[in-house]
Structure formats: structure tokens, C-alpha cells
Structure 1
Amino acid sequence: MGVYVVSYDLMNNETPKDYRRVIGAIKELGDAKEFQRSVWLLKTTKSTTEIRDYLKTYIDSDDSLFVGNVVSYASSNLPKDISDTMFSDWSKPVS
């Protein structure tokens, strides 16, 4: 199981319905928490490629998408529920 950063930017006249579709798709992949606007942490057994390929089916060809594997992290003011959920099996953040 890994923790991934998923970020997206929907372009050209996107509606709240479009955002809800993408958010729903992210949540279908595993334990997902939005910690900044359109930036999510996702805990899942899927690979970066599997996540990207799945989410591409929910966005338009001109929308951007980034999926990255979190191998270490440093944060400031990350909500406690997010750090507890996403990084519970890690000893502590890298400083």
C-alpha cells in the first residue's frame, strides 16, 4: 500500500458536476483526503500508472493531472486527521 499525491486542474468551463466526478473517482481508488484545493493524498494499492489511467477517464483531454508516489514528506500545518490517516504506518515525517 502506498501514499500518492494526486493533483488536477480542470480547464475550460468546467462545472461543479465535473469536479464532483473527479473527486468521486479519486475516492473510489482508496482512502483519499483533500488537503489543498484540487490536491489530494490517496492511500491505495494501485500504482501511479494505474491511478493516472483510471482518472484520465474522468477528465477532458485539455485537463491536467499529476500523480506522484510519496516516499518521504515534510509538512507545515497539515491537518492532524490527514497525517494520522495517511501516514499512520510511518514513524514520523522527515524534517
Structure 2
Amino acid sequence: MVDLARGGRPFRTGDEVVSCRITSEPGEDGTLMAMNTGGTVAVYLISYDLVGPHRDYEAVTDHIMKTYGTRAKPLESVWLVKTSKSAAEIRDALQQHVDSNDKILVVTLTRGWATRKISKVVTDWMHQHI
């Protein structure tokens, strides 16, 4: 997250100071993207659409399970991971396990969240780590 009203400088979210930078490369829709620059531990939501032709969900799952010791899987193609890596580093590592047309979304999570019909194991994990 980045506070554009403060010119992209570090700002406070909850009890944690978050440092971000705005990339100079626009996304597909032309908007600039904000990225956690890494170094501080954060919880990320990872979501992906494997559109083919191979749809190797096992490769993605294996990578996430081997790379991130603190993790939860609330939905079919969604993971929550706690790491000091940046969103870009997570995305780049996942790209090695998907096809060139597959989609990946990595988002830093903050304290505000809500669920419906998510397992107690996952919501307990979320209470502990987010």
C-alpha cells in the first residue's frame, strides 16, 4: 500500500510502519503499482488463475509449501503467507512454476479482513498473523 496523498513516503497502518515504492512501469491497465520493498515481515495474499495449457497446481502448491513455513490456504487458488520477501519477489518466484499466460496476484494484507465459511484453522491463523 502507498499513501499517494503523502507522495509515496512511508506511512502508518495499524501498529506497523510500511515502506513502499511506486514502480515506474505501469500495469496492464496503465496504472502505476505500489510494491512492498521487502525487509519487513508482512502477510501476503497470493492468488492465481492457471489458464493453461498445463494448469500445474501441484507445482505451485509445492513451491509455496516448501518456501513459506508460515502459511494458510483459505480457498482453492489462494494462499496467505508470512515472509520478509517483497510482493515482487513472491511473484517472480511463482512465475517459474506457471505457464506464461497464467495470472498471479500478490497483495499485502493489513488488519482489516472478513470471511464467510472459511475453516476455523485458517481464521485462527489469520487472527494470529494478520
Larger radius of gyration: 2
Contact 1:34 1:40 in 2 (8 A): yes
Tell me the SS of whatever aligns to 2:52: coil
TM-score normalized by the length of structure 1:
0.79
Tell me the SS of whatever aligns to 1:87: helix
Give the match for residue 51 of structure 2. 11
Give the distance between the partners of 1:23 and 1:84, measured in 2 at CA: 21
More strand by share: 2
Equivalent in 72, 78, 81 of residue 39 of structure 1: 78
CA shift for structure 1 position 89: 4.6
Code of the aligned partner of 1:5: L
1:33-89 CA deviation, whole Å, 9 max, x = no partner? 221111111122211111011111111110000000001312223322112223315
TM-score normalized by the length of structure 2:
0.60
Q: Return 5+ residue gaps in structure 2 as ranges.
A: 1-40
Code of the aligned partner of 1:36: L
Number of aligned positions between the proteins = 88
Give the match for residue 93 of structure 1. none
Give the match for residue 81 of structure 1. 121
Identity %: 35
More helix by share: 1
Once structures 1 and 2 are overlaid, which stretch shifts more, 61-70 or 35-44?
35-44
Tell me the SS of whatever aligns to 1:43: strand
Structure 1 residue 50 and structure 2 residue 95: aligned?
no
Give the match for residue 101 of structure 2. 62
Give the distance between the partners of 2:123 and 2:84, measured in 1 at CA: 18
Code of the aligned partner of 1:80: K
Give the distance between the partners of 1:89 and 1:40, measured in 2 at CA: 13
